[in-house]
Amino acid sequence: MESKDLSRGLRAIALPVALVLGLASPGQPDDAVSLGGYFKTFASLIAPPTITTGGRAVAGPAAAVLSSRLRLDLTIRPMRSLSFDLAYDLSPRIQSAGLFEGGLFPAGQALGGYRLADLRDRLVPGPGRTPRNIAVFQNLDRLMVTFKTGFADIIVGRQPLAWGSARVVNPTDVLAPFAFSELDKEERTGVDAVRVRVPLGSMDELDMGAVAGDGFRAGTSAFFLRGKVHALRTDISGLALAFRQHLLLGLDLARSIGGAGAWVEAAYVIPDALLAAEEGQKDYFRASAGLDYNFSTKVYGFAEYHFNSAGGREPGSYLPSLATTPYRDGAVYLLGRHYFSVGSTWQAAALFPVTGLVIVNLTDLSLIIAPSLDWNVSQNVYLSGGAYLGLGRRPEIALVPAAAGLQPNLLRSEFGSYPDLIYVSFRIYF
């Protein structure tokens, strides 16, 4: 980031910091200021998929990644009606140079970017230098002030913002979503927003706000209006979201059916709806529906179906889809149209849950298998491990007529094109 951008970012955060620190006088009670955080380390081994070329199967070299994250969370409550939250992450990473250029999975690419101004994300190496095997990143992830008034809660600054009741894919969550393959899903990435939440009853509310992107331009920012009511034993949420000049209309239903939980979450998106000129992008629709159930005190399971009209009807159309609006701006990352997911958690011991997730692309019959386990070693200390294993037809490099040249990475299935990943992690909270 240019030095003028850094100066602009520092000016943007200086006023709320000064205001809240000034209000937090030494005479406040002990719980007026709290400081916490965590340290995490993830060690991963990645095996790229085998690629068929010229009738031969070729596998690239495996890669190792060691990434850590130190997070500090500060909360100041100078009075009951006012609070200030700040969180800062420092993340050193050791890995092969090629991995700094993108995510480990196609589904792991960055999906957000709703920040008005920011600190430089990479501290080491400095600007203009390319990482070789070591880099250190920073993230000012929270910087928000919350005002509680008699009629509404007003939240200003960098904050988490997410919607949706689906378990695997949330169609209405397009501002800072998690892909299913994210290793660290504990903290939702903060976005710069002004948000007003008005309670309308014990379980009803009106939620509205503006989310700022770079320069607070229409092509980088978002505005939303969301209402939630409880009726007919069902939580019903409606959402209107204008993002990057596109319009999303969303609906989320969640209720109990017998002893099971049920949900339907859907979003209809009209690309370029806020532009004066029509650019010819097609509308698209995404929906997730599922059930979950506690089979016993130790076993929980769920099943979910996801439909994505923006995806390809067959593997040959997957890669061209990446240039369309849903994938550029709409946080769509799955390449097909129909998916079925099942997941379960077994509490093998009091402090030892074992979890499994399977996602099937029903178009090409490829799948991801994601087992994991978590051990609460002692108070605030955890050790976990797991894997993401892709099964399906592997990519192919095909020789085509000379006029077209060499066509690389022809996908024959979605999840068969994913690398296999095995990881272990250590987490300590303070």
Instruction: Parse the chain into domains and list their residue ranges.
Output: 3-429
With residue 11 as reference, give the H or E element that holds it: helix 3-23
Q: Which residue has the higher pLDDT, 6 or 331?
A: 331
User: What is the reported pTM?
Assistant: 0.87
State the chain's maximal CA–CA distance in angstroms: 79
Q: Which residues contact 155 (CB under 8 A, 6 or more apart)?
A: 144, 145, 146, 147, 193, 194, 195, 196, 197, 209
| Distance (Å, whole) CA 115 – CA 193 | 8
How high is the pLDDT of residue 400? 55
How high is the pLDDT of residue 29? 52
Q: Is the pLDDT of residue 181 over 90?
A: no
Q: Is the pLDDT of residue 57 over 90?
A: no
Over residues 232-286, the pLDDT tens digits come to 999 999 999 999 999 999 999 999 999 999 999 999 999 999 886 656 689 999 9
How high is the pLDDT of residue 127? 87
Two tokens at 239? Answer: 């959402």
Over residues 182-213, the pLDDT tens digits come to 889 899 999 999 999 999 988 899 999 999 99
What burial letters (b/e) apply to 383-414, b meaning 16+ CB within 10 Å?
A: ebebebbbbbbbbbeeeeeeeeeeeeebbbbb
| Residues facing 85 on adjacent strands | 75, 144
3-429: in CATH 2.40.160.10: yes
Two tokens at 322? Answer: 């990446």
* Radius of gyration of the chain from its Cα atoms, rounded to whole angstroms: 23
Decide if 174 contacts 191 (C-beta within 8 A): no
